[in-house]
Structure formats: C-alpha cells, structure tokens
Structure 1
Amino acid sequence: MQYQFIITITEHRYLGWIVVPTLVKRTNESFITFHEQASTFHFGKEGYEFEEHEKTIIRYFEKYSEHNLVALFSKTKTVNEFFGQLTLDRFEERIRPFIEEWADKILNIIVEYEIPVFIRKPNYNNLYDADQLKMAGSDSKTIFNFKDEKTAIHYSLSIRHRGDDIKLMNKNLIILSNSPAWVVIGHSLFNFNDVDAKKLQPFTKKRHIEIPGSARNKYMETFVLNAIKNNTVLAEGFSIIDQEPEHSAHLFLEEDLDGQPVLSLKFKYGNRYFIRSGRKAVDVSFFKENEAYIFQRFNRKWIWEEELEQKLTETGVRKQQNSFFRPEGFTDNVSANLYMLVNWINKNTKKLNEIGFEIDQSHYKTTFYTGNIDLTMDMSDTIDWFELYGTVKLGGYTIPFIRFKKHILTGTREYQLPDGEVVVLPTEWFTRYQEIFKFSKEKEDKIVLDKIHFNLLQNRDVRQVDREVLEDVYSHRPDINIPVPESLNATLRSYQKEGYSWLMHLRKNEFGGCLADDMGLGKTLQALTVLQYIYEGSFGTKKRRVVNRIIDDTKPKEQLNLFDQKLNDEPETEAESHRLPASIIVMPKSLLHNWQNEIKKFCPGMLVYTYTGNKRLRSMDIWKIFRHFNVILTSYGVVRNDLEFLKTYQYHYLILDESHFIKNPSSKIYRAVNQLDAKHRLAITGTPIENSLQDLWAQFNFINPGLLGSQNYFRNHFVIPITKNKDEKREERLQKIIQPFILRRTKHQVAKDLPPLHEQVLYCAMTDDQKRLYEKEKSGIRNNLLQNIESAGVDKTRLLALQGLMRLRLLANHPVLVNKEYEGDSGKYDRIKRNLKNLKAEKHKVLVFSSFVKHLKILEKYFIKKEWKYSMLTGATENREQVIDAFMNDPDNHVFLISLKAGGVGLNLTEADYVFIIDPWWNPAAEMQAVNRAHRIGQDKHVMVYRFITSDSIEEKISKLQEKKSELASTFINTNNPFQNLSQKEIDELFR
C-alpha cells in the first residue's frame, strides 16, 4: 500500500466546512482508507515524499488550525476555552473571513495541480470514488434575472456552466469561501468571480424572490444597478442601453486628508468624473420615464486610462493612495510642497496638454498661474559696475525682473498678477539671483552690481554681454607676459611670476586680493615686484639723489621732520607732480626689520620711509613727507594710534602683511586700517583662517568691501551652513566667490623649487617619576571635570578642560614646569639634549620652537652650563636684528631657541637645516609657520623636522584628535582651532 495526498472537505463542529490536506491509503480499487490529516510534522518522517506545492498547502492549512486560531484571536490557554467563549458574531466577523482567505489560496493550488478533492462525512474513515468532487473551474457564470411587473419585481439567479444551466433548487450548497466564491453544488466544486456566494444560498430553497412594489424604486437604485454594473443581467420590463460617451482626462489641484497638496487624476465620461480604482471598468446610471426604468451602461476605456496613468508617472510624479499624485521630494512643510507642485505644473503643462491632460484648479482655494515663466537678462558694463536689466514674461504680462527683488531676498514664493492669479516663483531664481540682489543696488528698473561680484554672473542666463571685457575678468588667467622690472635684483621662479602676473591682473581690474601662499614661498618678493614695476620710473627723479636710503624713524640720526629743507622746501618738478603716491605696508612690529632687509636686497633703488618708533613724525601734514617716498613701512599698532594723521594721505597701495591680524572685525586695528585711503588693497598671509571660517570675512571685506556681504549675512549664509550643517552647495558657492581674489600655492605644488623636507615624529617615554606625577595629576583633573560637567554642563566646563590640558601638557614636557621642587628627569628633555648634542657635533644649525618660554629657559640653562653658543628670541627680545645676525653669521652658534608666538612668522633663517618642534599643539598652521623659517626659498639644504611627543600623554591624544578636525582648513585654505568646540565625548577621551 502507498500513501496518497488528497484534499478533503470536512465539516468542523465549530468552524463549519473547511479544506483539509489529508494522507490516505488505497486498499483496493473501490475505496480509500483515511490515514490522518497532513501536517508539517510529517515532512521527512512519513513514508511519503511531499511535493513543494503540497508542503505549501499544508503550511496554509495550519494557518487556521485550532491552536493557531487560539494564538491569534484569543488570550485563552486551551482550545476548549476558546471555542466555549466564541460568539457567533465574532466568528462571522473575524475568524471565518480569516479561514476563507487561506482556503482560497489552497483551492487555487488545488486547481492548478489537479489534486483530488473528496467530501468526507463525519466519523467515516473510508472514502469512495463517489465522494470525489468534479472540478468545475472558474468558467461558470452567474446570471441575474429581473422581471419588473410594476407591482413587484421578481428576481432569480441561475448558473450557466459550459453552456448548461445548473439548477440550484433543492441542491445541497456548501460554501468554502464567500468572496471570491468557492462552493460545492451537488458533486462539483465551483469558483465564481462575479458573485458573492451568499447570493446563491436563497435559491436552493425557492425559485425566485419577490420584491414588493413599495420597495421598487430603492431596489432598482441599489441592487439592480449594481448587478447590471458587475454581472450578467437578463432584464424584462425595463431597458438596459449600452453607450459610448465622450471621454477626457483631468488633473485637479487638491488637498489630501493630511492637508498636503496633490494632483488628483480623474477621467470624465460624458458629464461624470471617475477616479482610477480597482473597480470593474463598467459604469451604470439610470432614469425613470413613464414609470419605466431605463439603465444606461458604458464600458470605461480601461486600457486608455492605464496608458495615461503610465504616461503621467513618466513625467516625474508618483502615485499615492486614492489616485493622488505628487512629485518626489515632499516633506512635512505644506507650503514648500505646494510650491514644488505648482512649479512642476508650470514646467510640465505643455507636455501634459500634449499627452491629453487638462489642468483644473477649481477645487483649490488659490488660483495659480500655470503657464510658462520666461526670464531674459540683458547686461551692459561700465568702468566700475555691471548694469543688468531683466524681463519676465508671464502669459500676457511683461514685468521688470527688479520687481521681484523683495520676494527673492525675503524668500517669498508667491507673486500676485493683476488678474488675481498667483505666480509661484521658480526655486532656481532664489539660488541663482538671491546673492545678486543681496550685493546689488537698484537703479530705475536696472540691477547695478559692483564688478568685484562678477563671479555671481556666471551661469545666470545673461543674454547680451560684452564678452571681451567679462572674459578677461572671468578667466582668472593673468597675462604671464607682463615684464618683470629690469631693476629688480632677483630672478623670479615660475610660480612667483604667476603670482606677480596675478597681482597685476587684479590691479588692472582694480580688485583687491589676498596672496596666501604657504610660508617660505616668497610672498614678500612677489608684492615687492609689483611695487618695483609701478615705481620704477620714479627712481631717476631729483629726489632719488637726495634720499637714496631707507629712512627709519626708529633711528634718531636719520630722523626727518616737517622742516627738513631737502624734502619740504624744494618745489616739485613737473615730473614729480605726476608721480604715483606712496604705498603703505602695514605689518606686525617684529617684521619691520625683515621688510627693510628684503627691500634693500631686491629693490635697492626704492625710496622707503619707516614710520614707527617713539620719535616718529605725528602731524596732519604728514603727507608732505610721504609724497617723497615710494613705500611707507609701519606697524598695526602705529596705524591704530596714529590713524588721524595716516588717513589724511591717499596711498596708491595699502598692503597688510600677516593680514590675519585684522581677523576680528570689532577690533580697533581692523577699523583703523579700513579708514586708510588707497586705490589698491592687498592682503598677505599664510594663514587666512586661524580659528574659524569667520576669519575670512574681515580680510576679504578689507580687500574688496562688500564682497561677502554684511558680517551677519556671512555668518548666517555661509559659516553656520558650512561648519554646522555641512552644506556642500554653500561651501562650493563661497569658494567660487573668493576664488578670483585669493591665490594660494602650497609647498607641495611648487616642490621642484624647494629642497626636500623630511618630517618625523619622535615619541619620548616618560621617566618613572614623571609618569607617577602625570597619572596622579590626570586622575585629579578628570574627576574634577566630570563633576563640573554633571553640575554645570559641557559649555561651562570647556575653559576648565583647557586649563587641565595645559597643565598636563607642561607635565609631559618636564614636571619642573609645574612643580619647581621636582628633582627628577624628563624623558622628552633627555631626548632633546641628546639630539642637540649630536647635531652640534656635526656642525648643523637647529631651530628649536616651543609655545612656552619657560620650556626654552630649561634648555638655555643647560646650554649655559655646557658653555654652548646659542641665540634666543621671545616676545621680550628687543634687539631682534642682533640676535638673528648672531645665529646666521656665527659658525659656532648652532642653536636658536624661539618662542612660537614671537618667531613663528617673518623670519628668514635658511642657515638652519634642522627644526625641532618640542611641544606640538593643536594648530598645525602655527607649526608649519615655524618650519617655514628654514624651509623656504633660498634654502639649499635638505631640511629635517622633528616633532617631540611624549608617549601615553595628552600630546599623543591631541595629535590624533587633530587629524579629525582639519576638514575646514583644507577646504578654505588653512587650518582651524580644533578645540573651539570640545564635545563631552572628546573631553572624556582626552582625560581617560
């Protein structure tokens, strides 16, 4: 005997008729012996190998097993409890539909694989061939028969299967699924897709149903109308007329249930609108004429509707529920979504009309303009600005573009036309033209834009432009053929020639610029080449013979005054009256000597006046002295203090060296230099950004006032979006704005012009005494910080954290910097001494940089003990020139101790070929400035840089944190202070 898989239709005492997968054994040809219900338990265990579809049927069946129903629909623990508490209403409402859902899935598989189906009577173990059901399939059709006799309506239902009428009268009807209908009639299993199974049941007891005349109208309006719409109907006593109405497609601007704007797709047939849905493509309406009912029926163009819906989605909208459509990118912002949708309609109206859609706004509270929005821009240029005139065509209206200025600046999207329609301004107008309006002025119907903002005109749909003028400005390709002054006592490298040409390009177009090359690449020489070019013709004047040296107010013997007959009383010659006025170079006081030396070296014929020192001239008539010179050298402090005198003269060039000194717009120095009157402005710095992106504003507002807008605008429009929100588009925009006015070349870019640079980090282990002291101090600082964070918050603990960091940093260098009584050693100190001893023996010269003067003092004490020659430069050093000369020119002087703050800039120390950074800190730019004292143009030796870091200390952790914090710097020219905003997590990691 072999097992066989079949389906039995069995009546469950609680669940009614159900479909059950069964394993049976055929003992002879006349009957089959019931074995048991098939379950997943039998997989792989019984002597029967299940097919995959049979396994699927078993899994579906177990969905409505007794135990699964208890788990899904009840909190009772047993089957008996569940069925004992089950009410008929709950069963019919929830459980029976659930059973029928899975039964329908099983029955479809049965039909597909032609699995035998048997009726199994209760308590019978044997099945006979006579119990097997015939599969009628789904090609049976129900027919609704209506006869209207005015006084009553007779309704009957019949079944037609393959041309034969199936009688229901006196037949046993078993319903396995109500909708879709699976029923057993006689010995056949039927599947109906056009009728609810419950509608068949009455006709097993009666031939027809009579509806009284009093319910005639209601019955015709509901039951009969739906039957005509969904089923085959034979009518007697009333008419069913098939029609072919005109049809069209419509998109309505509406709100969905959440108040969001949407496009509602509806199809119009005759005078009626229909949404796309899953209903059958038949619609029926009716009217009454002389007591006779007339039904009008038509078939919706289902394929036509589907094709149009597909074409609609191809335009870029996506279908939501209820035939609503909207573009992708909607958010919770209803207004923004509305504008997006209306803009989409504007762009696609023509295409939608061509496809066959009509746009309808009659259901929306506002009527929007949905035609083309055509903007054209014309432009003309003058010496100092561009004039733009734009016109916008909206249907029959032509409006000057300047009328939209207020809307674009305030972000107002809606503009009302004279006829009451509302135009939603295109999104791209705000991104393309907001900055133009922000930086422009209004003149009649024209937009007047300063030429420093020429970059804002790129890709702005300008139609008529003087291309030759604009391309010269846009190209940012300076004329490299500008001759280098013959009297310049230097040979420019290729990148320096490019820098010189770029500066001349800015001068030609009367733009200010920022020369931001890496330290040591010759920014001073490039600026002096420009000054040499413009003043070269004035060197041969009469005054050249009178004053052929640098006049330095710091030296009384060379002091000039307003009564000096040589300079003041002689009348000007005609040639002198046409000479360019002097240029002024402002710098930190410590760089005055460097500029004087560079001018003597490269421009020996230039007339230079150093305006500084306690005995400097201070008079409103100071111009009488300045007019006799080419260049005035002074310091930021002097400009701040003598502004009333210095601003009376009109300079040709105003040059700021180390221009990051004016990064604070609220400082007196910033306000002072901006009051100096000059035709051309130039900023020179290797670190335009020291602490934050905000540093850029002050320097660029100096070189080209208004370039970056107001300080608040720059902060809100660029700084916050870029640094906090990581807005790449704003970052790109800012780069485009400043790019024409800043030139930066790194050492890496001009490596061929510099000797090799080798950098190495030397990790120094702490001594045992140093380690114990360090760990004890770190533990105390950490506990104190955590308590403060808990009580006062992170923001109020940052200063305390920085103080703790500084203390640990000193301990990592040498504990004696914190505790004078400390008598132990320092691992780093010992390592530095050994390295210096070796280099001195090999006759190398070494620059030793530290942030702490007292750290340098420890080394100085050691040098004195060893009787080494050395030089030392700190903020307290007054004889800087002598100190520098002693190191550069004495072959026995091998070590230069320099404080990072006092000697990080302005020094040219190319005699040295080794640089020690003995206490690295957070700002890599400051360290690179120090390195560039030796690794710069003029150096002919291989430069070695050693950074000394104490292992397992705060220094090592900071070096790692530093790597994560330099993105802004690399993007915008330099580096930032990574500890400006310490997070709680970072604080915790540093002191762990």
Structure 2
Amino acid sequence: MLGRLDLDPEQHRWFCQFGALHRAAGPALPGADLAWVYLDEFVNPVLWDLLTQAQAIGIVFVGSGSGATVRVADGARLGLDAARSERGIRVSARLEMDGAPVEVRDGHAIGAHGIYVVDLERPRQIVLAPTLEALGAPQLALLGVRGGRTVADALSEGVLVPGDRAEEFLHEHLPALRAGFDVGSVDGTVSLPAAAPPTLVLTARYSPGHTLDLAWHWDGHARSGPTPDPRAVVPDGMLPGAWWPAQDGTDLPRPVTLHDIEAAEFAATDLPRLAALPGVRVDTVGTPPNYRELLGTPVLTVTAQPTETNDWFDLGVSVTVDGRTIPFVPLFRALTKGRRKLLLVDGSYLALTHPALGPLAALIAEASEVAEWHTGPRISRHQTSLWADLVDLADEAIPAPQWSELLAEAGDRAPRSTPLPAGLHAELRPYQAEGFSWLTFLWRHQLGGILADDMGLGKTLQCLALVQHVAEQRPSGEPRRPFLVVAPTSVVPNWVSEAARFTPGLTVRRLSATDAASTTSVAEAAAGADIVVTSYALLRLDFDAYQALAQGSGWAGLILDEAQNVKNASARTHECARDLAVSFTLAVTGTPMENSLTELHALFSLVTPGLLSSARSFGEQYVRPIEGVRAGITTGPGAGSAPADVAQLRTVRLDRLRARIRPFLLRRTKDLVAADLPDKQEQTLTVELAPGHRQLYDLHLQRERQKVLGLLDDLDRQRFIVYRSLTLLRMLALDASLIDPDHADLPSSKLDALLDQLADVVAEGHRALVFSQFTSYLKLAAARLTAAGVPFTYLDGSTVRRADVIDDFRAGTAPVFLISLKAGGTGLNLTEADYVFLLDPWWNPATEEQAIARTHRIGQHRNVMVYRLIAADTIEEKVVALKARKAALVDAVIDDGDLFSSVLTADEVLELLA
C-alpha cells in the first residue's frame, strides 16, 4: 500500500510515532475523531524532538488557507514584568518567543512544556515553542488554563500596586511571587528582591469518625533555592518527637493519622499555631468539625434513687462544664482508662485532670465492683462511707429519702443511746451499753455488722440485750420470730446458760445432734421461741430445714457466734450462712481477722453484702497493698524506686478500708476497759531440752532444713510439705515420743516444768487451765498428772459429754483443766480458774488470746497469771517472734497500728529453720 500511495518510509514512520505518542497520554474520549491530533493535549515533551526530526526529514508545517504559516521557535519564556511609574508599580504578564515580546492573551499552553501563539489580528500565523521550564499551576493560570481567560486578560493589562503600598509589595509579596514566577523588570525601574524560600505545606485531611490525616510536602521552585531543614522551620516541641524521622537532615515529618481526642486537640490548638509560623502553610481538605475545649470548672452532682431491690440505690452522677452536661458513661470509661481528655460527639472536649474527677473515678469504680450494672451504677445502702466520700467530692448530693435517716445516724460518732430493756437482768458497763445501742442501731435499719469486742468483754450479754429489746418492742399481736444463734458445739451450752441468767423471760431452745434432723424438729423448736441455738455442724448438715423456716414465717435474724468459724469463703458452712434467707445478720467474734484481710472480707460478705467489692477486686484493692505483697520493678532502671509510693498507697487503702467498715464493725479491746478487768500478768518460761532430747532435735532440724530449702522456690505448691516439716519440729520441741514412741525414754523437760508449776498452784488453792494444740501431748500431760495424783478434767474434740466436763470443772472437782486449743479455746466462760499454761505457741496471737480469755474476762475477780512454756533454741522461739509480727496486721486494720505481711513467706520459713 505504501508503494501505491508513494509514501516515504521514514516520514511514514514519523507520523506513526507522532500519533502513537499522542494516544499514549490516555484513551480517547467517546465521539473523538482519531484522525485529529490537538497540540493542546500533547502532554509528552518529546513532541519537540519529533518536530525537529520532522523538519530534518522534509516534513513541512503548513496552516489552513492561503498564506498561513507555522513556525517552530527555539524557546518561549513566560513570567511577570514589574515596572515603576508615578502611580505605583504595575505587574503584568510577559511572554517572549525567541526573546521577542508577544501578547500573553495570544498564548496557549501545549501540555505543561510548551506554548503556541496565534495572533488574533493575523490568525494564520502560528508560532510554537518549548518553554524554558515546566509550566506549573501559576504559569498555566497566566495563560488562562487554570484561572480562566479573564484572569489572563487582566494580567496582560497588568495589576497596579499603589505607590503607598509599593514598599510593602516589594518586601512582603514580591519574594513569594519570584518563588513561583520568572519575574523581571524590562525597563529596570524595579530592583527585584531575592526569591522566597520554599514553603513547608501541611495538608490536613478530615474524614468521618473524627479522623485527621496529616501529610507534609515542600511547595517551591528551583529559583526558591534549596529546601531548608524542616526542624528549623517548626520549633522544637511543637510536634511529637515520634513524628520526626530518626536521622537528621531535611527529612519531612512522617505522615500520621490521628483519631478522636488526639485529632480534636491537634486541630483546635496545634494547627492554628503551625499555620501562623513563617514558612508554613496549612491546606485543609474536607470539612473540619467544630472542635473546641471546655475550660470551665466541672460542677458535680450525685443522687441516689430507690430501685426494685431494697438494699440498692441507683447512683446518678452528673458533671456539667460550661453549661454542657457530660454523658456519664463515656466520662467514666475515660476516667477508668486513665485518659487525659474526653471528646464529645459535638466536637467539644474537656480535660480530665480536675482534682475532683480522679477521686470520682475511684469511687464509682468501687461501686461498680460490688455488682453488675444493669441500668447504670448502683450503691448499696451499707456503703454509707462511700456516699460520704461522694458528698465531700460533689457540689450537690441528693440521697434517697429512704436512706437519709440511716446516713445521718451512720455519720454520727456514736448511734443514739437506747434504754436498756426491762427484762435484762444485768447491769451493763458503759462500753457494753454503748455496744447495745450500736446493735439496736443496726437492727433499727436492718443492717448487719460485726461485734468484735476483745475476748471476755461480754459480747454474748450485749447480744442477749438486743434480743430482749426486740422482744419487748414487738407490736402487740405480731407473732414471735426467733433469732437463730449459730455457735461452735462447745459454746452452745454457754448460750443457754447465759440466756437463763441474764434474760430469763426469753424462751430459748437448743438443737443438738440428738434431735431429729428434719424440717419438723427445727420448726417445732422455733415455734414460740425467742432464740434457737444450734451448731455450725448442724446448720451445715440440716441447712434445708433452717432455710425452709426462713422462707416461711422467717427468722428474726441470724447471730453467728465465734464467727471466725465461717471466715473461709469457700467452705460449705460459710455458704450456708450466706444463703440463709434472713434480713439481719450479726457476726460475733473477738478475732474478726486472724491471718489475712480475706477473712475480714468473708465475714462482711455475710453481714453486709454490697459493702465491699468482690473477693478478686478486694484482693487487688486492699489485700495486696495493705498486707505488703511486693510488686513493681526489682531489677534494671528504676529498681528500688517504689517503696515510698508503696507506703503511701498502703496508707491510703488502709484509711479507706477503715472508713468503709467503721459503721458496721464495733471493737473494744481490753486495754480500753482495763479498769473493769482484773490484772493479767504474763510470763515466758524458757525450758532447756535434756541433752539426749537436744541431740535428737538438732539432728532432725538439719534433715528438715535440707528438705525444705529445696522447696522454697515453689512454696505455693509445696506449702503442705513445708508445714508438715515445721509441725514435726514443733512436736519434737515438745516431746520426742510424739514423733516416735521409741524415744519415750527421753526426759520431757517441758512436762517436768509444768508439773513443778502446777504443784505450787494446786497447793496454794488456785485453779489452772492447761492448753495445747496437740491432743497427743495433752494425753502425755494427763498421764503425768495421774501419776502425780493431781485431779484434772479433760476436753478435746473427741469428748462426748462436753457440758458435763465443763460443769465438773466449774463445780470444783478438779484444780486442773486440760484443754485442746481447737476444742476449748473459744466460747467458754471459765472464770473459776486464775492460772493459764500455754504448752506450745501458735502462729497466730489471736488463738492464744482467745485461750487466755476463757478466764481473763468479765466476771473474773482475781488476778490472772499466764505462763508460756517455750523450749529454748528451738522452732518455738522463732514462732513467738513471727507471732509478734502477725499481731500488727490485726492492729492495723481493727485497732490502728503498724503493718506487716500476714503471708508466711519463704524468708519467714527460713527464719523459722535458722
């Protein structure tokens, strides 16, 4: 075909390349004529090489019509010209083709790399030329491509800067123009300043969902000079350090995406500051929300409203700032997560650093830990101290009307005095009368509590006074509802006898193991009774019977005597006491806490459910900080820097716990009522082991030490084995035959010392209680007393006729009473004795104090002598030291004292074996 058209192959190839290069810029638009090529759309600058080649191979450029010419010039220059006149400085667009001026209005862009000129007066004369530099947006605007032909026409005529603004224009505006345009002064009347340096541009792109994308770039021209170090443009600290690249130099800040409060705070505060910096421009994409910070002081209002559950109130919390009510749920979540600021849906935000907001979060969190929220936070009516803290914090506090009386009385230093019931046959001491008033306060508001007076101060009498008060206040015609008293088996007879002595007008029924375990027997016992006394064992075994009565006519209340028996929250007895359907529960114990705060929590969960948080949360909030479980950095940077903070946290949590439980726990120690008690003298008798006994003890000590040392790294899992080794050493310190009958021939120095002491005690007409934790050792003591002809009575867990044994001692048939610490260390009133011998020490001081309190109590009129027999240089001496430290934990929470760790740690085990 080429042959028939007689086309030159080289020229044909040129036309093919020309068309292909034009089409490569993009697909043709619908309806476009592919036979036509428009130079305006020729985006590839290779065009000028092709035009040069065309001339070289004989392709001629022709116009349409007769006399039309097309010329390709060497170069075009587009810029601005400044000329001064009397009126000011005129700035106009300037276009040159091969150095000759051309009207700008006649110029048109070829892509971004060239210009063609068509003189309107000579439309058949066309000049094409490549530009000396690429055409940017400002240059294209001069040609009317971006700014429109009206802008191009205006600049062609020129813009006049008035004379009074000329200097401002030269110094402030012209440098920026020179950065984007080729500016000259053809007539030399204007002295041109240097071009402005590049501009650092921050593009802020707003997206839905409070999202802000930030990206940086330089805006400038080659004539603007090299880009400076952006760190010299943006002052230190204005941008987070993490936004900057690691290496120094001219690297721009990294692109980042901000969300929520970070986006709002940056848009409201940092973007305006950046935009005001010289050399910085902020370009906004999208619609920015109306971000603004609320700077007013928060106004806090708390309310408590009744719910369908009598023990709970809906807790309302309202925070207002600058007239804007802050939604509670997002506020609380932000506070509990430790956030600095909170963003609201309308774009406003506030700082969460106000002094009232941090404590508010802690208090609301405490309320939330008690029960699951259904419609919002709730507060238990037992949490009077928590409400008081909220009142102190709030600008306004509105309690539920049903709660106001309780809050007022709970806030007093002491409940109002209550007259003693007429049927009480006893003269109460002042502290006992105060205890009775406190109990009636609890009963009046149907609140539970813990009566934790020290052993021997008449807790049973105070409880009987309450029951007598309730019986006398019962409205006429209302049926009796008895109090259920649950006590250890050994203490049950004491309740019956004490009631007969002090409240003879009350009807008291006792349930024992010989009674039929049935609903009928429990119901029959309760019918017409004021008090039904049972044991913890029977409550556990016959729980359904007790519960059936609770769900029927009901118990007036539940009194748990020696309540340390239900301190284990996972035990079945605790579950029974917790699940029994009663509206009033009173725990009575001289030792509400023996080893750990978890025991205190277990008791309060029975008497005041809702007062304290869950066991897990209580462990984190109180047990760990108060009992001194160590945590924090122990090695590396910052190690050892936390003790002061730990001590402060411990003090804060201890004060808070005391405040929470104070209205519901009453404790008076013997020190407070010393004038009402006889003197008590305590003495430690150190007993040296016989040589053979000493040799055997030291041999076993070394063996057990080696065994235990290998287990301490995993003490929690190996605790039973470790305790077994410690128990073996404790028994060996008492008598060698306790671990091996073959050693019965070795002398027992401690029993020898006991017999020597008892000989004088009995000869002088005194009576003595002898306690040991090991019934096997008590039996050895019994054998020695029998051999010496000393009469005695004996009580341990296997004793069947317990009441008869106790009555025998009280009747004076024997001067010595051998008692197992577990079976008789609590609940007994044995003021007939005035001497106490403790044959072996126990880990917890409360256990020993309970034993001593069997005789050193109200009703005792003689001085009480207490002797502790300790084997010298044995584990017993170490137990005494450990016991002294354990006493401090009880003092700290209940009696206000110093603290220590209640947990038997690996270090303490090592100390015991030293």
TM-score (norm 2): 0.62
Confirm or deny that 1:743 pairs with 2:666.
Answer: yes
Pairing of 1:495-506 with structure 2 (within 5 A): 495-506=431-442
Q: Is the 8 A contact 1:455 1:736 kept in 2?
A: yes
Secondary structure class of the residue paired with 1:507 = helix
2:795 aligned with 1:873: yes
CA distance in 1: counterparts of 2:693 and 2:184, whole angstroms:
107
Q: Which residue of 753, 757, 767 corresponds with 1:845?
A: 767
Structure 2 residue corresponding to 1:783, chosen from 690, 706, 709: 706
1:394 maps to amino acid: V
1:404 corresponds in structure 2 to: 331
Alignment of 1:88-103 (within 5 A): none
Report the alpha carbon displacement of residue 473 of structure 1 after superposing the two structures with TM.
Answer: 3.2
State whether residues 697 and 729 of structure 2, in contact with CA within 8 Å, keep that contact through their aligned partners in structure 1. yes
Residue 694 (structure 1) aligned to one of 575, 586, 598: 598
Matched, 1:428 2:364: no
Aligned residue in 2 for 1:764? 687
SS in 2 for 1:949: strand
Query: Aligned to 1:633, which of 514, 533, 536?
Result: 533
Question: Which secondary structure does the structure 2 equivalent of 1:907 belong to?
Answer: coil
Report the Cα offset of residue 624 of structure 1: 5.9
Does the 8 A contact of 1:910 with 1:938 survive in 2? yes
Which of 453, 476, 490 does residue 426 from structure 2 map onto? 490
Identify which of 508, 521, 542 aligns with 2:444: 508
Give the drift of 1:705.
1.4
Per-residue deviation, residues 904-930 of structure 1 (Å, max 9, x unmatched): 001100011110111112111100000
Q: In structure 2, what is the Cα distance between the partners aligned to 1:977 and 1:770?
A: 38
Q: Distance in 2 between matches of 1:917 and 1:325?
A: 73
Letter in 1 for 2:752: D
CA deviation after TM superposition for structure 1 residue 582, in Å: 1.4
Matches of residues 389-788 of structure 1 in structure 2 within 5 Å?
Answer: 389-395=316-322, 397-401=324-328, 404-408=331-335, 415-425=342-352, 426-439=357-370, 448-460=378-390, 461=394, 463-465=396-398, 469=405, 472-536=408-472, 577-616=477-516, 618-619=518-519, 623=523, 626-649=526-549, 650-723=554-627, 724-725=629-630, 727-728=649-650, 729-788=652-711
Q: Is the 8 A contact 1:690 1:976 kept in 2?
A: no
Q: Tell me the residue number matched to 2:810.
A: 888
CA contact (8 A) 1:923 1:977 kept: no
**CA distance 1:759–1:428, change in 2 (3 Å):** same
Asked if structure 2 preserves the Cα contact closer than 8 Å seen for 1:440 and 1:450, the reply is: no
The alignment status of 1:376 with 2:312, answered yes or no, reads no
Q: In structure 2, give the amino acid aligned to 1:736.
A: A
Q: Larger strand proportion, structure 1 or 2?
A: 1
Moved more, 965-974 or 617-626: 617-626
Number of aligned residue pairs: 620
Structure-2 change in CA distance of 1:948 and 1:512 (3 Å) = same
Q: Deviations over 1:638-665 (max 9, x none)?
A: 1222222211221111111111222222
- SS of alignment partner, residue 897 of structure 1: strand
- C-alpha displacement at 1:763, in angstroms? 0.9
- Going from structure 1 to structure 2, the CA distance change for 1:907 and 1:422 (only over 3 Å counts) comes to same
Aligned counterparts of 1:411 and 1:392: Cα–Cα separation in 2: 17
Whole-angstrom CA distance in 1 between matches of 2:324 and 2:904 = 56
Q: Structure 1 residues 504, 797: closer, same or farther in 2, change over 3 A?
A: same
Q: How does 1:792-811 map to 2 (within 5 A)?
A: 793-811=714-732
| Structure 1 position 809, deviation (Å) | 1.4
Number of the residue aligned with 1:85: none
TM superposition shift of 1:394: 3.5
Distance in 2 separating the partners of 1:674 and 1:991: 40
Residue pair 1:408, 1:433 contacting (<8 A) in 2 also: no
Q: What is the letter of the counterpart of residue 714 of structure 1?
A: F
Unaligned runs of 5+ in 2: 1-166, 174-182, 197-234, 241-257, 270-281, 631-645
Give the direction of change, closer, same or farther, for the CA distance of 1:576–1:645 in structure 2 (3 Å limit): farther
Q: Is residue 749 of structure 2 the alignment partner of residue 827 of structure 1?
A: yes
Question: Residues 394 and 980 of structure 1: is their aligned pair in 2 closer, same or farther, counting only changes over 3 Å?
Answer: closer
* Residues 832, 610 of structure 1: alpha-carbon distance in 2 compared, 3 angstrom cutoff: same
Is 1:774–1:808's contact at 8 Å kept on the other side of the alignment? Answer: yes
**What is the CA distance between 1:777 and its match in structure 2?**
1.4
Describe how 1:218-233 pairs up with structure 2 within 5 A.
Answer: none
Q: Which residue of 2 aligns with 1:32?
A: none
Aligned partners of 2:843, 2:607: CA distance in 1, in Å? Answer: 29
Of structures 1 and 2, the one with the larger relative CO (CA 8 A, separation 6+) is: 2
Match among 733, 738, 742 for residue 812 of structure 1: 733
SS at match of 1:679: coil
Q: Deviations over 1:799-854 (max 9, x none)?
A: 33322221221221121222322212132222111111111111110111001111
Q: Decide which moves more: 982-991 or 483-492.
A: 982-991
Q: Between the two proteins, what is the percent identity of the paired residues?
A: 34
| Cα distance in 2 between the residues matched to 1:976 and 1:813 | 32
Secondary structure of the equivalent of 2:492?
Answer: helix
1:377–1:388 contact (8 Å) kept in structure 2: no
- Mean Cα displacement is larger for which, 510-519 or 805-814? 805-814
Report the residue type matching 2:862 in the other structure.
K
Aligned equivalents of 2:461, 2:545: Cα separation in 1? 29
| 2:795–2:824 contact (8 Å) kept in structure 1 | yes
What amino acid sits opposite 1:866 in the alignment?
A
Rounded Cα–Cα distance in structure 2 between residues aligned with 1:470 and 1:981: 37
Residue 955 of structure 1 is aligned with which of 868, 876, 896?
A: 876
In the TM superposition, residue 671 of structure 1 has moved relative to its aligned partner by 1.8
Look up the match of 1:300: none
**Aligned-residue offset at 1:625:** 5.2
* CA separation of 1:818 and 1:441: change in aligned 2, threshold 3 A: closer
Per-residue deviation, 1:502: 0.5
Partner of 2:112: none
Alignment CA distance shift 1:796-1:645 (3 Å): closer
Q: Work out whether residues 587 and 635 of structure 1, in 8 Å CA contact, stay in contact via their aligned partners in 2.
A: yes
Q: Which amino acid aligns with 2:593?
A: I
Amino acid at match of 1:391: S
- Asked if the contact 1:850–1:919 (Cα under 8 Å) also holds between the matched residues in 2, the reply is yes
Distance 1:510 1:831 in 2: 53
1:744-792 Cα deviation digits (max 9, x unpaired)? 1111111111111111111111111111111111122222333455xx7
Contact 2:299 2:395 in 1 (8 A): no
1:535 partner amino acid: A
Distance 1:804 1:848, change over 3 A: same
Please give the residue correspondences for 1:932-947 in structure 2 after superposition, counting only pairs within 5 Å: 932-947=853-868
TM-score under structure 1 normalisation?
Answer: 0.57
In the alignment, the residues of structure 2 paired with residue 754 and residue 512 of structure 1 have an alpha-carbon distance, to the nearest angstrom, of 29
Distance change in 2, residues 1:878/1:324 (3 Å): farther
Decide whether aligned partners of structure 1 residues 802 and 378 sit closer, same or farther in structure 2, where only a CA change above 3 A counts. Answer: closer
Q: Is the 8 A contact 1:379 1:386 kept in 2?
A: no
Partners of 1:923 and 1:380 in 2: CA distance: 42
Q: Which runs of 5+ in 1 are unaligned?
A: 1-242, 244-269, 272-286, 297-320, 327-337, 350-361, 539-574
Farther-moved stretch of structure 1 (420-429 vs 481-490): 420-429
CA deviation digits over 1:147-171, x for unaligned, max 9?
Answer: xxxxxxxxxxxxxxxxxxxxxxxxx
Secondary structure class of the residue paired with 2:298: strand
Letter in 2 for 1:590: S
1:400 CA displacement:
4.6
